[in-house]
Amino acid sequence: MSHTVHIDPILLGKVSKPARYIGGEWNSVVKDHQTVKLTVAYAFPDVYEVSMSHLGLRILYALLNERIDVAAERVYTPWPDMEELMLDKGYPLFSLETKTRVCDFDVVGFTLQYELSFSNILNMLYLAGIPMLSKDRGEDMPLIIAGGPCAFNAEPLADYIDVFCLGESEESVQLLADTIIDWKENGKPGGKKGVLKILAGQQGNYIPAFYNVSYDENGNFVSLTPSEPEAKTCIEKCIVADEEHVFFPTKPIVPNIDIVHNRAVLELFRGCSRGCRFCQAGMLYRPVREKTPEHLLQLAKEIIANSGYNEISLMSLSSADYSCLGELVDMLLQEFEGKKVSVSLPSLRVDSFSVDIAKKVQQVRKSGLTFAPEAGTQRLRDVINKGVTEENMLAACENAFKNGWSTVKLYFMMGLPTETDEDLAGIADLAYKVLNLYRKITGKNNGRVTVSVSSFVPKSHTAFQWFGQMPIEEIRRKQEYIKTLIRDKHISYHYHDAKTGHIEAAFARGDRRLGSVLMEAWKLGAKFDGWSEFFNYDRWLQAFANAGVDPDYYAARSRNVNEALPWDHLSNGAVKPFLQREWQRAAAGELTPDCRHLSCTGCGVCPSLGVHIIDNKEGRDYEKTSFSC
């Protein structure tokens, strides 16, 4: 029996942006729960404006709602003022579509985008009246399922989540829904554990309760051992082989209030095989699989007609790498000419070609261009395998300045492996070179260069997963050092607080012991930790101390390449020797080419998952995998 929550509209009128909690948006789907066999609440652990901007949940929401036997609804984290009202008046967390209590759904599905959103997951469970720990949840409580990039290092959340779904879910979610419906219709044989056992046998599903963890006498992680026969020793991610024909929603929900990315979104391709050694997304979503420009044009037409949006953003991990980008942009501009629909590219590659594309899409307004050289010297760029040269950079800027742009943003990281002060000085040098280039080309002194430097957080499943993060003091020193080198009022320099990166790093490579840290932090009031106004470093240090866990054991410790890692059982299809080889090549400053254009680099993803690269220019569905790894 499901209950709906009625919030007194007078009280709702008192919180900030009440429309966050109302639903009723165009293209949102409202179904009568009596008419469906499965109800799913898709949960994003952040506020409405951030959550609604996420493409992944929108895809799954639309996909499941295509089925007449499933109702998929949304729930996001209430802002603290709304949380206070809910706690004060006893309103439990409810879904946007039917205002059903979240605890009455069959499944609650969280997306894990960012380690610092974990505290909001606990808080949302609490507000829903759902026991936070899996072991405390009875048969009447929903199955708590989670996916997204952070599911690849699931261990810090192992005590809280029933099922982690690894990889791309467009196809596997159908089996998941069928399995749960079957189980329900057969009278839930074996209870929750019964369905978890079936799910454990399906690709991509990790049921953390079915494993025992062991540590050695020094407290180092040794292994996870299956405790149930259905549990696999290695869980391989799900992947969509046929990107061209996979479901993509053409009726996007159009929010009534402004959100972070309030525009139509077209996904050009999955994956990126440039092989930047710091990048987790590049490793998790291999290989590259493109859609055809013809199909994308058709999708774009439908999305614009169904939404009323006047801007369409071309999304992918690295959109400028889409093999038919020029053609696609021409097709879109032609289609939308005179219709006041603009095309935007969220990220540019560091080269002149990208600026040509930017020229096409930004024909009137010359807002700033953003490039990410990531490191200040060629040596360090080679270490991280960012195949970009200073010549690429300056050619891109020259093209931009000659075509009327005057503002360039440059993104860098600090705290990278092998980094020296010389590399940091290179950041300032590059900024000066770009600014001087502007002066030389335009003869004017009104150019602006913005330098933004974030601190590096080593992530699992990357070549840098063994690297110890630099201490906060060292990051601060480096930040100050760069500051001393930038002395021109036309260059502005931004950097981020190193403290959030420290906590993020501990969770990004944590094991199950981080679960109790998370609980302690929640008890101390942690929420919205991705928001600087709510993140409290001292509170986190206190939580680590209360749980008896040292954050630097996870964040700062350099790991032995042969030691067992708490995410070794969660596979993106890549083999460990590939990452070890990449780690060695990084130390030697050797570049590894992009396999979509040159030879196979032997990561192992294609053969182990039975997929291959789809590149419209290189030849569709071409086979180039070598098995010599």
**Residue closest to 346 by CA, chosen among 280, 282, 265, 290:** 265
Q: Which is nearer to another protein, 360 or 379 (CB)?
A: 360
Binding window for another protein (CB under 8 A); candidates: 76-84, 300-308, 442-450, 459-467: 300-308
Q: Which is nearer to another protein, 363 or 445 (CB)?
A: 363
The H or E element that residue 57 is part of is helix 55-65
Give least dist CB 256 to another protein, A.
5
Give least dist CB 303 to another protein, A.
11
Binding window for another protein (CB under 8 A); candidates: 200-208, 305-313, 374-382, 615-623: 305-313
Choice from 1, 6, 13, 443 touching another protein (CB under 8 A)? 13
Tally DSSP H helices, then E strands, for the chain: 21, 19
Give least dist CB 17 to another protein, A.
8
Binding window for another protein (CB under 8 A); candidates: 299-307, 481-489, 565-573, 621-629: 299-307
Q: Is the peptide bond before 593 cis (omega within 30 degrees of 0)?
A: no
Choice from 3, 4, 26, 214 touching another protein (CB under 8 A)? 26
Give least dist CB 10 to another protein, A.
5
Binding window for another protein (CB under 8 A); candidates: 20-28, 161-169, 418-426, 460-468: 20-28
Asked if residue 18 binds another protein (CB under 8 A), the reply is yes
Give least dist CB 30 to another protein, A.
9
Place of tokens 């909001």: 120
Cα separation, 285 vs 86, whole angstroms = 38
Give least dist CB 22 to another protein, A.
5
Asked if residue 19 binds another protein (CB under 8 A), the reply is yes
Binding window for another protein (CB under 8 A); candidates: 80-88, 255-263, 285-293, 547-555: 255-263
3-state helix, strand, coil in the chain (%, to 5): 40, 15, 45
Q: Using an 8 Å Cβ cutoff, are 345 and 319 in contact?
A: yes
Asked if residue 340 binds another protein (CB under 8 A), the reply is yes
Task: Please work out the total of residues on this chain that contact another protein, with binding judged by CB under 8 A.
Answer: 26
CA 495 to chain centre: 21
Q: Which is nearer to another protein, 8 or 182 (CB)?
A: 8
Q: Which is nearer to another protein, 16 or 220 (CB)?
A: 16
For residue 48, give every residue at least 6 positions away whose Cβ sits within 8 Å of its Cβ, in sequence order, or none.
Answer: 17, 20, 21, 76, 255, 257, 259
Parallel, antiparallel, or unpaired for β 289-290 and 269-270?
antiparallel
DSSP 435-489: HHHHHHHH--S--EEEEEEEEP---TTSTTTTPPPPPHHHHHHHHHHHHHH---T
Q: Which is nearer to another protein, 366 or 496 (CB)?
A: 366
Assigned token pair, 588: 């030697």
Choice from 307, 399, 455, 601 touching another protein (CB under 8 A)? 307
Choice from 133, 222, 305, 587 touching another protein (CB under 8 A)? 305
Cβ of 390: how many Cβ atoms within 10 Å?
A: 17
Asked if residue 24 binds another protein (CB under 8 A), the reply is yes
Q: Using an 8 Å Cβ cutoff, are 446 and 268 in contact?
A: no
Asked if residue 486 binds another protein (CB under 8 A), the reply is no
Choice from 14, 444, 483, 617 touching another protein (CB under 8 A)? 14
Choice from 1, 88, 140, 365 touching another protein (CB under 8 A)? 365
Asked if residue 188 binds another protein (CB under 8 A), the reply is no
Q: 396-435 burial, b for 16+ CB within 10 Å, e for fewer?
A: bbbbbbeeebbbbbbbbbbbbbebeeebbbbbbebbbbbb
* Distances 195 to 1, 225, 383, 607 between C-alpha atoms, Å: 21, 20, 46, 30
Asked if residue 306 binds another protein (CB under 8 A), the reply is yes
Write the DSSP symbol of residue 50. H
Asked if residue 258 binds another protein (CB under 8 A), the reply is yes
Helix ranges restricted to H, 146-190: 172-185
For the chain, what is the radius of gyration of the CA atoms? 24
Choice from 110, 309, 467, 493 touching another protein (CB under 8 A)? 309
Give least dist CB 24 to another protein, A.
3
**Residues pairing with 26 in the sheet:** 254
Choice from 186, 225, 256, 560 touching another protein (CB under 8 A)? 256
Burial status of residue 17 (CB atoms within 10 A of its CB: 0-12, 13-18, 19 or more): middle
Choice from 90, 187, 229, 308 touching another protein (CB under 8 A)? 308
Asked if residue 254 binds another protein (CB under 8 A), the reply is yes
Q: Which is nearer to another protein, 12 or 213 (CB)?
A: 12
Asked if residue 515 binds another protein (CB under 8 A), the reply is no
Q: Which is nearer to another protein, 10 or 234 (CB)?
A: 10
Asked if residue 443 binds another protein (CB under 8 A), the reply is no
Asked if residue 310 binds another protein (CB under 8 A), the reply is yes
Binding window for another protein (CB under 8 A); candidates: 57-65, 306-314, 589-597, 614-622: 306-314
Choice from 5, 23, 530, 549 touching another protein (CB under 8 A)? 23
In three-state form (DSSP H/G/I as H, E/B as E, the rest C), the secondary structure along 187-224 is CCCCHHHHHHHHHHCCCCEECHHHEEEEECCCCCEEEE
**Residue closest to 237 by CA, chosen among 169, 288, 291, 179:** 169
**Going residue by residue from 65 to 104, which x/- string records binding to another protein, judged by CB under 8 A?**
----------------------------------------
Give least dist CB 254 to another protein, A.
6
Task: Give the chain's length.
Answer: 629
**Residue closest to 176 by CA, chosen among 188, 186, 164:** 164
Asked if residue 6 binds another protein (CB under 8 A), the reply is no
38-67: contacts with another protein (CB under 8 A):
none
Cα separation, 468 vs 556, whole angstroms = 4
Cβ of 478: how many Cβ atoms within 10 Å?
A: 22
Q: Which is nearer to another protein, 153 or 362 (CB)?
A: 362
Asked if residue 12 binds another protein (CB under 8 A), the reply is yes
Give least dist CB 97 to another protein, A.
11
- Single-letter amino acid, residue 143: L
Binding window for another protein (CB under 8 A); candidates: 11-19, 44-52, 293-301, 484-492: 11-19
Asked if residue 564 binds another protein (CB under 8 A), the reply is no
Q: Using an 8 Å Cβ cutoff, are 390 and 378 in contact?
A: yes
Task: Give the footprint of another protein on this chain (CB under 8 A).
Answer: 9-10, 12-14, 17-19, 22-26, 254, 256-258, 305-310, 340, 364-365
